[in-house]
Amino acid sequence: MPYKSRNFTTFSLVMAILGGLVLLFILAPLLGMFLRSSPNQIVNTIKEPEVSSSLAVSLFTAFVATFIGAIGAIPLAYLLARKQFRGKLVVLGLIDLPVVIPHTAAGIAILGVISRNSLIGSAAARAGFDLIGTPISISCAMAFVSLPFLINAARSGFEAVPIRLEKAASNLGASSVRTFFTVSLPLAWRSILSGLVMMFARGMSEFGAVIIVAYHPMTAPVLIFERFNNYGLNYANPLAAILILVSLVFFILLRLLAKPAKNA
């Protein structure tokens, strides 16, 4: 037993060192960013109208993308969790595709759908407005790259709901709709809410796809790029720190939502 204990201790120490190096790799650039920006710089940057406007655009368009995306994403996640059908693996692959393709390519793909030469874009133009360079195009780009996070989280939540509970509700006379809203959805809400937060945060931080479809109105990531490109690191750093702080708030919220209840 002592020999096994020493082996375990050594193994744990090696794992802790390797894990610590990874954490240092993540933490060091973030700490460096905040050390380069004084609290006064961050406060003054927040007060700039251009900055507050870009943050408002990011938050608003990310919320719209998440809200509208959830209308279709949650039912799709439920079907994927409960139904087996031919081509399901293809559907799962398509859902994960936006995560792995370059986001500039994602922006170009979105642009091809909503440009004036497309069916949707030309219909919008006939109605008197252009989709390119508007909050609508930004929300489309955000939704495209962030929907997989919501769908996969919701699917995992529905898969964790025991099927016997749904069958019991059905045997008691509940319709499929009532079973979904009174049994499946309430039991999977924690995973769904975590997926919503992840989708919102991922959309808010998107740059590559957004800058293709709408340079203006500027989101916070696009403004960071512009300031770095035009004025250098010192001018872009405070805004980057602000965006990281905003993202941190949502990821803390995500962890709190994902934390199981003590009496569970």
Tell me: cis bond preceding 221? Omega within 30 of 0 counts.
no
Identify the pLDDT of residue 117. 86
CA distance 261 to 187: 13
| Contact yes or no for 78/159 (Cβ under 8 A) | no
Identify the pLDDT of residue 6. 52
Class of domain 48-258: mainly alpha
| Selection from 202, 196, 224 nearest residue 211 by Cα | 224
Residue showing tokens 């409960």 = 82
pLDDT band of 8, cuts 50, 70, 90: low
Identify the pLDDT of residue 39. 86
Question: In this predicted model, what pLDDT tens digit does every residue of 151-187 receive, in sequence order?
Answer: 999 999 999 999 999 999 999 999 999 999 999 999 9
The residue count for the chain: 264
CA distance 93 to 79: 15
Q: Is residue 11 packed enough to be buried (19+ CB in 10 Å), middle (13-18) or exposed (0-12)?
A: exposed
Identify the pLDDT of residue 7. 53
The structural domains of the chain, with segments of one domain joined by +, span 1-36, 48-258
CA distance 212 to 232: 22
**Would you state the structure tokens that stand for residue 152, as one six-digit string?**
């996969």
Q: Is the pLDDT of residue 49 over 50?
A: yes
Mean pLDDT of 72-78: 96
CA distance 264 to 252: 21
Mean pLDDT of 204-223: 94
Question: In this predicted model, what pLDDT tens digit does every residue of 9-43 receive, in sequence order?
Answer: 888 889 999 999 999 998 898 888 888 888 898 88
| Selection from 4, 68, 8 nearest residue 200 by Cα | 68
Tell which wins on pLDDT, 77 or 258. Answer: 77
pLDDT band of 73, cuts 50, 70, 90: very high
Q: Is the pLDDT of residue 84 over 80?
A: yes
Identify the pLDDT of residue 3. 46
CA distance 259 to 150: 17
Mean pLDDT of 93-98: 93
